[in-house]
Amino acid sequence: MSKFALVTGGSRGIGRAICVKLAQEGYQVIINYASNEAEAKKTLEMMDGNGELLSFDVSDAAQTKAALSDWQQRHPEEYIEVIVNNAGIRRDNVMALMPEEDWHRVLDITLSGFFNVTQPLLPAMQLNKFGRIVNMASVSGLKGLPGQTNYSAAKGGIIAATKALI
């Protein structure tokens, strides 16, 4: 039986490094990406094929549920035992000049994405009495930084949700 890990935003940067490390540790890594399939494929190549690609926008609850449900149907005897909630964006600007869309997009991907991915995968972790959830945060979520009201709110929400989930 294989061990599976899902890394949201796994196609580039920190997410890519996490995917590669998890593959080295023996996990079949599910690389989530929203739009950059070419970079996701590069990540998969760096992992020597120890995984698969799974495209969905974490901010879209229906799309996320459908993708995770489809994965589970293709792997009926398996479950995702590690979740790395890494997907996130920054749209820095002082709040007085921040477009409403930038506020919502940052919170939707980072904070709603955490919920949309984690909530449907928790029951299998509970049933199997094992699971690990890693939520990527930032110092911005602890102390807030000028020009990052939306990002700080999203990362602060992740920190609080992580503490409450324990």
Residues annotated catalytic, as ranges: 151
Residue carrying the six token digits 């930032």: 138
CB 165 within 8 A of CB 133: yes
* Token code pair at residue 2: 């294989």
CA distance 55 to 120: 17
Distances (CA, A) of 66 to 28, 91, 134, 147: 20, 28, 22, 35
CA distance 126 to 73: 19
